Copies of this chain bind each other. A is one copy, B any other.
Amino acid sequence: MNDNSWQPHCPVGVSAQTERITLAHGEGGRAMRQLIHDRIVPRLRNPNFSDANDAAALPALQGPLAFTTDSFVVSPLFFPGGDIGTLAVYGTVNDLVVAGARPRWLSLSFILEEGLPLDVFDRVVESVAAAARRANVEIVTGDTKVVPRGAADGLFITTSGIGELISPIPAGPRSLLAGDELIVSGPIGCHGVAILACRENLGFEPAPTSDCAPLVEVADALRAAAIPVRAMRDATRGGVAAVLHEWAGQCELTMRIDETALPVSSDVRGICELLGMDPLHVANEGTMVIAVPAGAGESGLAALRQVSLSKEAALIGAVQPRGIAPVTIRRSLGVEQPLDEPHGAPLPRIC
């Protein structure tokens, strides 16, 4: 990789004189201890944070657990609406939320490229800390590895999360029935378009912004209103289309959506048209698909609209007996067409 491969396309003010990550920061000795104690511990400190040992000791949870993991390799590291740190926290938090859990504890593991400016690292750790506060989770354990220049691209993060499953736990996509209604919690395609516009310097003004956010309050609103959720899923890689295809595969029914019902902002619509992309295939990082029983869609929307993050929630379709394809879309003129599953790589390194 070239020497500035970690440098975001949106400038962050890295000077030539800046201190940088060295291989010694990954070797288990004094340099690594200093990195952890001077730059990570003070920012992430909380009652359960394990600074002394490799494992955190955590109090017992009463009920069953949810456990999840995700690696983040987004490029660029910083983008309008977030950065790799916010993404790493919210991505794992949202995986717990859609499993029906209250997120409690996260682990945080860095793979750093030798030469990464320390102030870039610091900014990412600050973002992780702020995102954890916003999502009300604690970072409790971590790891740091350094690889030589060229063996990684700047900085990768892997987060894992533990949550407490809360009754009633959604039964999941295998439980879907014909007639169930399909909701998205907000406008679609914002994250993917924001990354692409930033990475490729497309020069839109204002720059499109990622929807990167924790879905904790959104799920809480559904729970508080006693909406009988059958399945929830954050529509990340592959977008809403990937979620619908996965669900259709599991329940062996058809997911039918209406094009005119999809909440798509004008900038996302414009950029997607320009680049020949379908917003249904574009990644989101703070938007989920929700399935509720027939007739529960309107009360679900009412609950969602109480929360600022999901105030543009929309009913986008319904589950049908298996028809012409696993997922179909009724176009604006009324024709029903198959909606392809994303196969290729429209947007690598989106998260």
Contacts and interface: CB of A to CB of B under 8 A. Distances in A.
Interface of A: 1, 5, 22-24, 26-33, 52-73, 75, 95-96, 98-99, 101, 105, 107-111, 140-143, 145-148, 150-153, 156, 158, 160-163, 165, 169, 172-174, 233-234, 236-239, 242, 245-246, 249-250, 283, 341-349, 351
B237 A73 contact: no
A345 B67 contact: no
A66 B71 contact: no
12 contacts: A29-B341, A31-B344, A32-B237, A33-B246, A53-B233, A57-B64, A57-B99, A58-B65, A58-B67, A70-B143, A73-B111, A147-B349
A26 B71 CA distance: 11
Q: Chain A at the B interface: mostly helix, strand, loop or mixed? A: mixed
A55 B99 contact: yes
Contacts of A67: 55-56, 58, 105, 107, 140-141, 162
Contacts of A141: 67-69
A161 B54 CA distance: 11
Oligomeric state, in number of copies?
Answer: 2
A85 to B, nearest CB: 16
Contact of A54 (B52, B56, B99, B345): B99
A160 to B, nearest CB: 4
Contacts of A351: 145
Closest 5 CB pairs of A and B: A28-B237, A28-B238, A29-B342, A160-B160, A69-B107
A230 to B, nearest CB: 13
A174 to B, nearest CB: 7
A341 B26 CA distance: 14
Nearest to A100: B57
